[in-house]
């Protein structure tokens, strides 16, 4: 009986080991991403691993195609791996802790604090020093400058840039005798005037796709930051967006809805409704990311739409625009051959490849020479976005804070604004409720992180 039990247990253990791939050989193949053969002391890398944290069928098709081209050019095979966005942070944490990170990863900027400290990403300064001039000013002076200030080095190469602009119904403007020039500066007051002029309820024409639901505070925050130098807090961590100027900005912004320049239903609108109703012909303007240009191209004719830059602040003349690189490329600390991994990153960043990628994602390529491209050139649909990236007045305002505000973003922010729009509370109360909550969280954060540096707006000049 006892013997039977021992045999059973041993069999189970062997099966378990076989199933889980336990054993020296398996472990070594898991840890080592690069198949290599030793030729006269120098290792020749034959393969790399690549991790995509926002997989989709389109992205996978793009990457597999581009990796084939890379293999043709270098002879190096790249394995495409992916993890759904929701699990990505956990998966990378597990891989990083066990030393199994792939050679190249797509990385969200919010993770860099943890990854740089843990050594899960390597500095790229030595690779980019000589070629920095090839990249746009926004990459050099905003994104990389920010990384250098925060983490001491450049750690990522942007996959593309997401830039905001004001989409406008060109045909409505022509009918109303309004002339707009994307190369000329304009202010928020000009924008509000345009919204009012484009509204003709009898024709079912509303001036703007007003964002009333989730994300309602995002464009309003940027407008208010025009009065605070682009910052949400001062250097002591005291909130700035509760000033009299900001309250007036809050009222002016929401007047667009209260004055009937947006459909009443738009109090419940999020991203999808805003875009659908702009492309569908109900609204005349839409403030959104460059990714919407692809939808406009698909659903509208060229003479129906155009893009204006984000309006300038009347206080300091800056164009505050929430520019970001959604999923930058980084080289992991576990890569056995960072030089070869860089070859892949450099290949992905080449103008022709970057253009192909950005056309799929609606981003703006990161290199200067794309200005000659049909799509991203002076006469292309993305011209206004490219132009903003090189505008010396461009500035990136700060976020809501260095703490977790997901729950506020998905609830309180837009609920407070909605209460004001419905006349259930005063504008001052709504803004104070929001800023008090932000201040309370900022205070908690400062208590826990007394040495933390307060984030400030990034400016090209």
Give residues in contact with other proteins (CB under 8 A).
Answer: 89-90, 204, 212-214, 263-268, 270, 282, 404, 406-407, 410-411, 415, 418-419, 421-422, 424
CB of 420 to other proteins, least distance (A): 9
Residue 215 or 333 with smaller CB distance to other proteins: 215
Residue 342 or 420 with smaller CB distance to other proteins: 420
Q: How far apart are the C-alpha atoms of 103 and 341, rounded to whole Å?
A: 6
Residue 225 or 266 with smaller CB distance to other proteins: 266
Residue 159 or 273 with smaller CB distance to other proteins: 273
Residue 30 or 407 with smaller CB distance to other proteins: 407
Residue 260 or 380 with smaller CB distance to other proteins: 260
CB of 440 to other proteins, least distance (A): 13
> Cβ(321)–Cβ(163) under 8 Å?
yes
CB of 56 to other proteins, least distance (A): 20
Residue 182 or 270 with smaller CB distance to other proteins: 270
CB of 64 to other proteins, least distance (A): 31
Neighbouring residues of 173: CB distance < 8 A, sequence distance ≥ 6: 179, 180, 194, 198, 284
CB of 79 to other proteins, least distance (A): 28
Angle between helices 244-258 and 427-448 (to 10 degrees): 130
CB of 262 to other proteins, least distance (A): 10
Q: What are phi and psi of 305, to 5 degrees?
A: -140, 155
Residue 270 or 333 with smaller CB distance to other proteins: 270
CB of 320 to other proteins, least distance (A): 26
Q: How far apart are the C-alpha atoms of 367 and 311, rounded to whole Å?
A: 25
Residue 14 or 94 with smaller CB distance to other proteins: 94
Residue 158 or 263 with smaller CB distance to other proteins: 263
CB of 22 to other proteins, least distance (A): 26
CB of 419 to other proteins, least distance (A): 5
Residue 58 or 97 with smaller CB distance to other proteins: 97
What is the β-pairing status of strands 394-396 and 319-320? Answer: parallel
CB of 226 to other proteins, least distance (A): 26
CB of 439 to other proteins, least distance (A): 18
């Amino acid at each position: 009986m006892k013997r039977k039990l021992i045999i059973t247990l041993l069999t189970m253990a062997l099966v378990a080991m076989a199933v889980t791939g336990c054993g020296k050989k398996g472990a070594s193949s898991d840890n080592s991403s690069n198949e290599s053969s030793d030729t006269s002391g120098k290792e020749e890398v034959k393969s790399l691993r690549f991790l995509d944290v926002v997989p989709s069928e389109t992205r996978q098709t793009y990457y597999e195609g581009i990796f084939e081209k890379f293999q043709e050019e270098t002879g190096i095979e790249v394995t495409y791996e992916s993890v759904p966005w929701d699990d990505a942070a956990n998966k990378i944490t597990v891989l990083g802790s066990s030393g199994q990170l792939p050679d190249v990863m797509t990385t969200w900027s919010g993770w860099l604090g943890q990854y740089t400290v843990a050594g899960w990403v390597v500095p790229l300064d030595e690779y980019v020093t000589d070629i920095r001039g090839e990249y746009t000013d926004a990459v050099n002076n905003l994104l990389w400058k920010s990384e250098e200030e925060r983490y001491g080095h450049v750690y990522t190469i942007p996959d593309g840039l997401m830039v905001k602009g004001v989409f406008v119904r060109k045909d409505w403007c022509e009918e109303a005798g309004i002339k707009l020039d994307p190369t000329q500066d304009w202010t928020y007051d000009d924008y509000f005037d345009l919204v009012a002029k484009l509204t003709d309820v009898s024709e079912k024409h509303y001036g703007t796709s007003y964002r009333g639901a989730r994300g309602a505070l995002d464009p309003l925050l940027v407008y208010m930051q025009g009065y605070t130098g682009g910052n949400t807090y001062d250097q002591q961590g005291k909130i700035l967006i509760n000033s009299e100027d900001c309250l007036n900005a809050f009222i002016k912004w929401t007047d667009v809805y209260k004055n009937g320049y947006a459909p009443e239903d738009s109090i419940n609108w999020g991203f999808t409704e805003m875009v659908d109703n702009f492309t569908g012909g109900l609204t005349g303007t839409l403030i959104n990311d460059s990714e919407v240009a692809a939808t406009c191209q698909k659903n509208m004719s060229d003479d129906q739409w155009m893009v204006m830059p984000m309006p300038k602040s009347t206080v300091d003349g800056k164009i505050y625009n929430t520019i970001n690189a959604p999923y930058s490329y980084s080289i992991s600390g576990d890569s056995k051959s960072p030089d070869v991994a860089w070859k892949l990153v450099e290949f992905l960043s080449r103008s022709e490849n970057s253009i192909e990628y950005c056309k799929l994602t609606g981003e703006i390529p990161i290199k200067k020479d794309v200005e000659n491209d049909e799509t991203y050139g002076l006469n292309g649909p993305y011209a206004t976005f490219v132009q903003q990236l090189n505008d010396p007045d461009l500035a990136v305002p700060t976020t809501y804070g260095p703490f977790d505000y997901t729950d506020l973003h998905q609830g309180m922010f837009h609920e407070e604004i909605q209460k004001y729009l419905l006349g259930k509370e005063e504008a001052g109360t709504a803004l104070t409720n929001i800023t008090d909550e932000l201040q309370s969280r900022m205070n908690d954060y400062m208590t826990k992180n007394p040495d933390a540096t307060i984030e400030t707006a990034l400016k090209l000049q």
